[in-house]
Amino acid sequence: TMLPSLIPLLNSSGVVPTPCEFNKGIKDGSIVGHVGFEESLHMIAAALGWQLDEIKQTREPIISNVYRETKYVKVEKGNVAGCRHIAHGYMNGKAVIELEHPQQVMPNLEGVNTGDYIWIEGTPDISMAIKPEIPGGLGTIAMAVNMISKVIAAHPGLASMKDLPVPSAVLGDFRKLGFAKQCAKVSTK
């Protein structure tokens, strides 16, 4: 469900009337695409023990071939329905991490099969698909709620997601799952 408060987010994500307005928004910084790509690249690299030399990002308009309408936004055929944001992290001149986020309004109207996809080249290679994609808003809320007990039990100081235990659902009262005792130990240090 799209909320009225998301309209500024849609605009900053590239949902604007025309390709010309999209290009203007890219130039003046009002269209940013997906916020956090650079930080995500650095966190992934740090978790792998890598130091990135360079980050390059592109943002391209997703032009709609059909009319799209939600309760809060209308996209005419030929206008911009979203932004394809791609970010690459480089080491020694080679792209070693790539993130892509084709954020758009109602992709299903053009038969786009949405999902979250992960490809890792290594031994063995890994290819994963989560379909349909994890809804951004709900996924963010769930992650924040399910990390509360882990953050409370963490040592004092600044920590990132790579420093905390693997995210997992907390099913039940976390006070009865031993987290309260861990918190008491941490707070007395």
Annotate 83-106 with DSSP letters as a single string.
Answer: EEEEEEEEETTEEEEEEEEEEES-
Residue 184 and residue 146 share a domain:
yes
Residue 89 and residue 37 share a domain:
yes
pLDDT surpassing 70 at residue 154: yes
Q: How confident is the model at residue 133 (pLDDT cuts 50, 70, 90)?
A: confident
Query: Quick one: pLDDT at residue 187?
Result: 45
Report yes or no on 1 lying in a domain.
no
Residue 123 and residue 42 share a domain:
yes
Report yes or no on 103 lying in a domain.
yes
Query: Could you tell me which residues come within 8 angstroms of residue 180 by beta carbon, excluding any fewer than 6 positions away?
Result: 174
Higher pLDDT, 122 or 17: 122
Residue 172 and residue 125 share a domain:
no
Span 10-36, mean pLDDT?
Answer: 82
Closest CA to 81 of 57, 109, 58: 109
Task: Decide which of 133, 148, 163 is a domain's last residue.
Answer: 133
Note down the domain range covering 173: 134-188
Residue 47 and residue 117 share a domain:
yes
Q: Which amino acid is residue 4, in one-letter code?
A: P
Q: Is 47 left (phi over 0), alpha (psi -120 to 50) or beta?
A: alpha
Residue 125 and residue 140 share a domain:
no
pTM for the model:
0.78
Residue 70 and residue 128 share a domain:
yes
Please state, in angstroms and rounded to a whole number, the distance separating the CA atoms of residues 63 and 80: 5
Task: Decide which of 114, 133, 152 is a domain's last residue.
Answer: 133
Span 108-133, mean pLDDT?
Answer: 92
Please state, in angstroms and rounded to a whole number, the distance separating the CA atoms of residues 71 and 133: 21
Residue 119 and residue 174 share a domain:
no
Residue 64 and residue 50 share a domain:
yes
Report yes or no on 183 lying in a domain.
yes
Please state, in angstroms and rounded to a whole number, the distance separating the CA atoms of residues 109 and 135: 17
CA 144 to chain centroid, in Å, comes to: 14
Q: How many domains does the chain have?
A: 2
